[in-house]
Amino acid sequence: MKEVWVADARALTPLGDSSQDLWNCLLEGKSSIRPLERFPVVKYMSTIGSWFDGWTVKTEKSASQLLLDRLLSELKHIPRDSLIITATTKAGIDNLEKVSRGKYADSEPVFLFSIAASASKALGLSGGWFNVSAACASSTVALSCGAEYIASGFADTVLVLCMDFLTEFVFAGFSSLRILSSSACRPFDRNRDGLSLGEGAAAVILMSPEKCRKLNPRPMGKIVGWGCANDANHLTSPSSEGSGLIRAITHALRRGRLETGDIAAVSAHGTATVHNDLMELRAFNHIFSGRRLPIYSIKGAIGHTLGAAGGIETVVGLQALNTKIAPPTVGFEFPEKGAEGKVSGAAAPIYGDFLLITNSGFGGINAAVILGRG
């Protein structure tokens, strides 16, 4: 089996104009969660989110297409035979909103495959494409699929594109579930009361070592392990004991031929809902029993970006490994039981070469990837 190298990784979020801006803002404890102005929110249980300013979409293009155009403009040296794997939960659902209100809009971006098809056409690639829609674990599952393609020798380059845009349709859905916080979310804090929604995108280019040496001899890092599992517990709530997440992490460790002691830090899903954070802490304390390794969530800074979450967290995780710093968990103040000495509102040093990223989603899906230092 081949190693899986990360040749490049970029993120777009409302917290700065680049991946480096995002990283700097995270270290400074900044947040892009603020009052929403894109659509009326008076009838919902929250009025805030993390959103791109100035993105009032007045064309027939969907917001996801505009975000894709901006993301692709950041990428260079994509081999023509690259496989594209996209990850999204709702694609261009904003165009369906336009149509429902009697406005003209292109209907194709509504379909989940539209992002992959548009990216392949825009880049002139011939390696094929498909989309992963696995709720809020979509991009972590997509990265796992891409890593498997590289490791198995079925592809030399895989471009993983992850994105979701904050629309009223999505906001209304989460409000109806009563899991939105009225204030900026507080991951792993004992006073947390729900999540904050966000939007963003990420691109991660995976290559075989041979391909990477030819095109980009200085990789950002590696994906050394990956795993997915389903707890089959509930339509929206995770297993309270974290059984599915424990299995996903265990698979990732085995795939990477690693022991639990090799993991130096954890980038958690950390949505700040009562059930998710408790589940994750139980899973982490089961896997890493007796250890006080740094655990952090970036959702207090950029909100929950749904299908883009794992991709953006991979970009941040690579930066964390290469700088040996775990960013602070913005909004964290009073630790939930099990978070003491692990989660912090301040940056923490990382001692080691491997970082675990976890994501969970509706339908019981759980996914984990392990990054290695470049």
- pLDDT confidence bin for 155, thresholds 50/70/90: very high
Q: Residue 234: its pLDDT value, please?
A: 65
| Domain 221-373 annotated CATH 3.40.50.150 | no
**How distant is the alpha carbon of residue 159 from its chain centre?**
15
Q: Residue 362: its pLDDT value, please?
A: 77
Three-state DSSP class for 250?
Answer: helix
- pLDDT confidence bin for 63, thresholds 50/70/90: confident
Whole-prediction pTM: 0.94
* pLDDT higher than 60, residue 58: no
Q: For 66-124, write each residue's pLDDT tens digit.
A: 888 888 888 877 999 999 999 998 887 777 777 777 777 776 777 778 888 888 898 99
Mean pLDDT of 252-260: 97
Q: What percent of the chain has pLDDT over 90?
A: 72
Q: Where are the domains of the chain?
A: 4-215, 221-373
* pLDDT higher than 90, residue 57: no
The class (CATH top level) of 4-215 is alpha beta
Please provide the average confidence, as pLDDT, over all residues in the chain: 91
Q: For 340-368, write each residue's pLDDT tens digit.
A: 999 999 999 999 999 999 999 877 899 99
Answer yes or no: same fold for 4-215 and 221-373. Answer: yes
**Interatomic CA distance for residues 242 and 289, integer angstroms:** 14
Q: For 202-226, write each residue's pLDDT tens digit.
A: 999 999 999 999 887 789 999 999 9
Mean pLDDT of 298-327: 97
